């Protein structure tokens, strides 16, 4: 059973443009397969929401619906606080164009006049020194930093992250988690992160939603103060509680 999400204190300042999205009885079918079943949910403005669940449970489909890359089969999606065009998506691979230098990858689809802004966002992700490098010279983590810069320059009102860190080694992943949290705090966008990693979900988000077979099986707030430490006993307890719930269902 889904639990109602409780009001929780925000630890970052939401940006006025940040998206709020309400899903009312959203379902999605592909052919005869029901992938999302009657999902009702409000993604609140400026909040960091994590979505966890096994492979094939419908997480990416839900993100694609939030990005309006996919239509619902039934039910409604209502956006507020935003211009829908400022949704950006980040994937497991950085999707950089290998024939464009780092800064030109950040500038894809934008006029050259944005070069200064591109330098600024590359600074924000710690890659200013690499602005004239070719993508193949960068590590996986650095390539994901470029993907983040490419998202940031578009001033997202909604940043959708589909397992962006799952191909990275554990230490790089910790670095990237800190960076994503920092950028979220500085920019105040609404963030929705799909991850396999329960520790990552608990560490970064204000709320963890679990999807099982296309349904929300739980929805819990994470109230721990930020900045969060991995050894915070409250976080460890919540992480164990979530893992316990997942294991109960297998």
Asked if 8 and 238 touch (Cβ cutoff 8 Å), the reply is no
Looking at the DSSP assignment, which residues form a beta bridge with residue 80? 20
Q: Binding pattern to ligand ADP, positions 17-36, x when CB under 6 A?
A: -------------x----x-
State the Cα–Cα distance between residues 137 and 119, nearest whole angstrom. 18
Looking at the DSSP assignment, which residues form a beta bridge with residue 76? 24
Asked if 72 and 41 touch (Cβ cutoff 8 Å), the reply is no
For residue 60, state whether it binds ligand ADP (rule: CB under 6 A).
yes
Q: What share of the chain is helix, strand, coil (3-state, %, to 5)?
A: 35, 25, 40
For residue 72, state whether it binds ligand ADP (rule: CB under 6 A).
no
Instruction: Please identify, among the stretches 12-20, 56-64, 132-140, 184-192, the one whose residues bind Mg ion according to the rule CB under 5 A.
Output: 56-64
**Which residue among 13, 25, 40, 56 contacts ligand ADP (CB under 6 A)?**
56
Q: What is the total count of residues that contact ligand ADP (CB under 6 A)?
A: 10
Residue 237: contacted member of ligand ADP, Mg ion, none (CB under 5 to 8 Å, by partner type):
none
**Which residue among 57, 88, 177, 187 contacts ligand ADP (CB under 6 A)?**
57
Element (H, E) at 198: helix 198-204
Instruction: Please identify, among the stretches 49-57, 82-90, 137-145, 224-232, the one whose residues bind ligand ADP according to the rule CB under 6 A.
Output: 49-57
Contacts of 94 (CB under 8 A, 6+ apart): 135, 140, 143, 144, 146, 147
CA-wise closest residue to 163 among 201, 193, 206: 193
For residue 164, state whether it binds ligand ADP (rule: CB under 6 A).
no
What does the buried/exposed string (b/e) look like for 172-183 if buried means 16 or more CB atoms within 10 Å of the residue's CB?
bbbebbebbbeb
For residue 55, state whether it binds ligand ADP (rule: CB under 6 A).
yes
| Residue 40 vs 186, nearer CB to ligand ADP | 40
**Which residue among 15, 45, 60, 142 contacts Mg ion (CB under 5 A)?**
60
Q: Which residues bind ligand ADP (CB under 6 A)?
A: 30, 35, 53, 55-61
Residues engaged in binding Mg ion (CB under 5 A)? 60
């Amino acid at each position: 059973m889904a639990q109602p999400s409780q009001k929780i204190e925000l630890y970052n300042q939401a940006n006025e443009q940040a998206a709020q999205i309400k899903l009312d009885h959203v379902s999605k079918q592909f052919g005869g397969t029901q992938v999302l079943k009657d999902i009702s949910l409000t993604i609140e403005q400026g909040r960091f929401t994590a979505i966890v669940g096994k492979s094939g449970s419908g997480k990416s489909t839900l993100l694609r619906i939030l990005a309006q890359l996919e239509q619902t089969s039934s039910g409604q999606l209502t956006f507020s606080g935003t211009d829908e065009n400022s949704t950006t998506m980040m994937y497991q691979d950085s999707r950089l164009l290998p024939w464009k230098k780092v800064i030109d990858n950040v500038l894809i689809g934008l006029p050259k006049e944005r070069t200064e802004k591109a330098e600024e966002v590359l600074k924000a992700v710690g890659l200013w020194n690499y602005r004239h490098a070719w993508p193949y010279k960068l590590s996986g983590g650095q390539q994901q930093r470029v993907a983040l810069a490419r998202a940031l320059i578009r001033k997202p009102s909604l940043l959708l992250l589909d397992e962006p860190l799952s191909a990275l080694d554990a230490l790089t992943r910790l670095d990237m988690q800190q960076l994503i949290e920092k950028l979220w705090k500085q920019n105040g966008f609404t963030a929705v992160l799909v991850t396999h990693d329960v520790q990552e979900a608990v560490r970064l988000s204000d709320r963890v939603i679990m999807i099982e077979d296309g349904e929300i099986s739980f929805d819990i707030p994470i109230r721990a103060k930020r900045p969060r430490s991995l050894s915070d006993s409250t976080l460890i307890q919540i992480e164990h509680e979530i893992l316990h719930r997942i294991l109960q269902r297998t």
